[in-house]
Amino acid sequence: MAETHRTKMLILGSGPAGLSAAIYGARAGLEPIVVQGLQPGGQLTITTDVENYPGFRDVIQGPWLMEEMQAQAEKVGTRFIFDTIVDVDFSKRPFRMTGDGGDIYEGDTLVIATGAQAKWLGLPGEEELSGKGVSACATCDGFFYRGKKVAVIGGGNTAVEEALYMTNHSDDVTLIHRRDSLRAEKILQDRLFANPKISVLWNSNVERFVGGGDPHGLIGLDLVDTQTGDKSHLTVDGAFVAIGHAPATEIFKDHLDLVDGGYIQVEPGTPKTKIPGLFACGDVMDHVYRQAVTAAGTGCMAALDAERFLAEQEFELIAAESSGGAQRFQ
């Protein structure tokens, strides 16, 4: 039987942003409810070694970090529910969402932290070698390829930025692009072409990620020339798929302003959307940094802003009631 779940703070998404919002919201007495979707814990649950999250001198595992964050959120009073949201109503408060089983979720404030998924090529070997030489985040994993030969696949801003970043760790970076020109901004292209550590393979498609060795990992890429059909092999230790990200915002497209390929638009420097009391945090609104620590930071900001919003609403209500009472006695 369908139920209605009511709270002062409703959070959609349980990655670093959603869990940080939950921790701060719970400690403020807002009794948050977190609705966990198809990937509880977000992108970190499919990330093995994490070396850049503050506070841990040794490499930690992404799934373990998310388990600890959820345990912390539960300890301070957060309630977690597994469900898939199929409909939303932001036309009035409390905000209302409907799960695929018919359950209703209502929140005086709503924090959207649904994240963004890296786009993958869907090629043989890609999934098998993910975390074993294949990655979609140079900033996250580039450090593990110090002094090694790496490739970056793509031709837009993301790919060029990843290739440039990798030159901090590798003297042999190959950018692989299926066309004969890049889509990236000219200033980025200028920096790329001026960097002696980067070479570009034009008109080339990756056909397969090749694994081998002991321990088993990526050893190279099978390529095909898009013009001639000629096949070749590029030996690399790491390959970064950089063809963009897809924010999980499809359900919000008729309710919120979306920018830059589907990211939720917020007031600059804040998690505030165009709807008062509705906040967005983490990768669902950040197409620039996309790091666990920045997501957690914006989750904190969303919770603090939600708390302030509720306090202001309560003050206005008390002021209105006091004003009405004073007028009755005049």
Selection from 108, 23, 103 nearest residue 297 by Cα: 23
Beta bridge partners of 80: 34
* Catalytic machinery residues: 137, 140-141
What's the rounded Cα separation, in Å, for the pair 123 and 300? 38
Element (H, E) at 73: helix 62-75
DSSP code, position 119:
P
* 3-state SS assignment for residue 61: strand
Tell me which residue has tokens 């990620």: 209
CB count in 10 Å sphere of residue 314: 10
Residue 239's φ and ψ, nearest 5 degrees, are -135, 130
| H or E element that contains 192 | helix 186-194
Distance (Å, whole) CA 78 – CA 19:
9
Residue with tokens 């580039």: 142
